[in-house]
A and B are shown apart, each in its own frame.
Chain A
Amino acid sequence: MNIESKRLMLRAVEPDDARFLADIINDPEVRSILGAYDLVFPVSVDMEERWIAAESKTEDVHLIVTLKKGSAPLGILSLKDINKRNGSAHLSIILEKKSWDRGYGTEAVTEVLSFLFHKKNMHRVWLRVAEYNERAIACYKKCGFKVEGTLREDHYASDAWHSSLVMSVLDKDFRRKRS
């Protein structure tokens, strides 16, 4: 079963996606804003294949974002640390550079939040974002996330310490925003 929005489709990650994942993660410009991911070294297609195989044995969920028209992947949206009792999950999304600034991130995240809150009966979705990733922060705010704290100097990059923000959205925030 895939998750569909107006323009996008989200499907499960498959071994064939290894090349796409290696390509986006190796893109210096993509990498430079993903402070929270701790990406320093280059990755190979083989490494990504092994990562996909290892992830298939976990409870984490990785979805490839594509356009409904055409199947080329635009990005990956992940849900990690899914805690069933507390109804919480950690969300992250990476889009390839040429798909930036088209509202795809907002559309994909909003659709996944709707799925989590309305279909999976979850309570809280949270994320961590580098404080200098203004595009992402604006996108998450549009989706209903609120900043709830700062992880001070939690990562080192370009010869300096940087902080990340923690943002979250609750089911009631999301319902209120919708109505």
Chain B
Amino acid sequence: MIRGEKVDLIALTMDYLPSYLKWFNDPEVTDMLGDTRFPMSEGKEREWIEQQLTPKDSYRVFTIRTKKGKLIGNCGYNDIDYQNRYVVLGIDIGEKDMWDNGYGEVVIRTLTKIAFEELAMHKVELGVHSTNERAIACYKKCGFVIEGCEREHDFYRGGYIDSLRMGILKDEWLRLKKKK
């Protein structure tokens, strides 16, 4: 378990299947991920969790649990590159009534801290829809800067939209940490 402020990031178990099934069948949740999905069957979701139960070096998924014990979404390192020393973050608050409560921010801060302090990373990065202002503001608050724009990178609600790459380097993160 990774302890964060307000939330803990815990390992996946098959017990969480109902929550994952609910989140990943919610178009409002999954559309943001740049990946519109067909309705997900219980069998397919089970299969996906099963795969995560044999972890790989190259990516890792965690479940987000509030300190009160409620599962509210998932997050993780979508890509762990130990040679180039970067990770790509992914986050998804599946419980919509928990949006706008600052949970995303504490998750990003926690994942960033672990990446730098425990995984010896040089850089933490992520991709975000250019239209997702709420997320962009959150990432900026966490110290991420916009590094580039992938033009018309995602097909979203009937048209192509830009995707922004954002990132934070180790020394930038250290500077932010000192300021606090």
> What is A's interface to B at a CB cutoff of 8 Å?
84-87, 120-121, 123
Contacts and interface: CB of A to CB of B under 8 A. Distances in A.
B37 interface: no
A40 to B, nearest CB: 35
A123 B57 CA distance: 18
A87 B120 contact: yes
Contacts of A123: 120
B83 interface: yes
Interface residues of B, number: 7
B10 to A, nearest CB: 20
Contacts, number: 15
Interface string B61-87: 000000000000000000000111100
Nearest to A122: B83
Contacts of B120: 85-87, 123
Determine chain B's interface SS by DSSP, over half rule.
loop
Contacts of B2: none
Interface of B: 57, 82-85, 119-120
A121 B84 contact: yes
- Among B57, B82, B85, B120, max chain A CB count under 10 A is at B82
11 contacts: A84-B83, A85-B119, A85-B120, A86-B120, A87-B82, A87-B120, A121-B82, A121-B83, A121-B84, A121-B85, A123-B120
A121 B120 CA distance: 12
A87 B57 CA distance: 13
> Top 8 nearest A-B pairs by Cβ distance?
A84-B82, A121-B83, A84-B57, A120-B83, A85-B119, A85-B82, A121-B85, A121-B84
Contacts of B85: 121
Given A84-B57, A120-B83, 9 more contacts: A84-B82, A84-B83, A85-B82, A86-B120, A87-B120, A121-B83, A121-B84, A121-B85, A123-B120
Nearest to B118: A85
Contacts of A87: 82, 120
A9 B46 CA distance: 48
A85 B84 CA distance: 11
